Amino acid sequence: MARHWGQNLVVDGSWYNSAAAAGVTRPAAIRVPGVATNNVVDSYEFQVQEVLRKITTGSSVGRLLITLINALPRTLRIVPVGVNQFLQTRALPVACLPTACTGGATDSVIRFEPTAWSNTPTATIDPGKHFRSDDVLLHEMFHALRQMRGVFATTPMGEAFDFVEEFYAIMVTNMYVSEVGRPESRRADHILSFHRLYEKPAGPFVDTDVDFFIRHKPEVDAMVKQMPDFCAPLGAINNPLPWNPIKKAWNHEKLYGL
């Protein structure tokens, strides 16, 4: 039976009982109260809920994101992929094209398996274990929020971000990992192998949110204007987030109207 995390966020592991799951690598059984022994569906739903709990209780960025998802008249379902299928992790719109939902708000489905990340399956692309289940899920939930609002688009973007939506999700995830004490896990691009942000210093403001905002001002400004309910709390002058390009953009807008 599916579990809920708030009004609109549903965790449904029933895919593991479907024909589509035949032959995939399944997560190992866990032994915790309330989870049926050797029941992969129950185990999956419990573990995803624990990731959501970590995001909600450990981060103001994550808590705000989940609050806004649960305030929408839409549903976000989190469903499995096999452990060996972690490359299929993604947020998919239900009622419009997989790549774009501009002008059409939609329910969203995230395909995600928590046990794959920072473990053996992802070691080849991330030997330093920078990708972890909580930041991977947060990244996809930000995509889902924009799909659920009908503002998700595939505007191309350089610097190996592929699309502006990936830039947005990476920036927000970088804010999250900084907040939870993992600044070394800030990501530089959307390339599959992990590349640390500013691994090769290039100036006096390297690895700062000021530098990041200046480098990507048009994109950050556009998101601030499009999502004021997400950006206003993060942009507040007294917000203590240690790495926060949104705050730089929000206050630049208020001061200069640019």
| pLDDT at 258 exceeding the cut of 70 | no
Task: Say if residue 219's pLDDT is above 70.
Answer: yes
Interior CA angle at 177 toward 25 and 48, to 5°? 35
Query: 16-54: per-residue pLDDT in tens?
Result: 999 999 999 999 889 999 898 889 999 999 999 999 999
Mean pLDDT for the stretch of residues 216-233: 96
CA-CA-CA-CA dihedral for 36, 39, 41, 43, to nearest 10: 60
Cβ–Cβ contacts within 10 Å for residue 89, how many?
18
pLDDT at 1 over 80: no
pLDDT of residue 105: 86
Q: What is the pLDDT of residues 114-146, one digit of tens each?
A: 999 999 999 999 999 999 999 999 999 999 999
Average pLDDT over residues 192-206: 71
Extents of the domains making up the chain? 3-182, 198-258
pLDDT at 255 (0 to 100): 45
pLDDT above 50: residue 222: yes
Helix H, strand E, coil C: the string for the chain is: CCEECCCCEEECCHHHHCHHHCCCCCCCCCCCCCCCCCCHHHHHHHHHHHHHHHHHHHCHHHHHHHHHHHCCCCCEEEECCCHHHHHHCEEEECCCCCCCCCCCCCCEEEECCHHHCCCHHHCCCCCCCCCCHHHHHHHHHHHHHHHHHCCCCCCEECCCCEEHHHHHHHHHHHHHHHHCCCHHHCECCCCCCCCECCCCCCCCCCCCHHHHHHHCHHHHHHHHHHCHHHHHHHHCCCCCCCCCHHHHHHHHHHHHCC
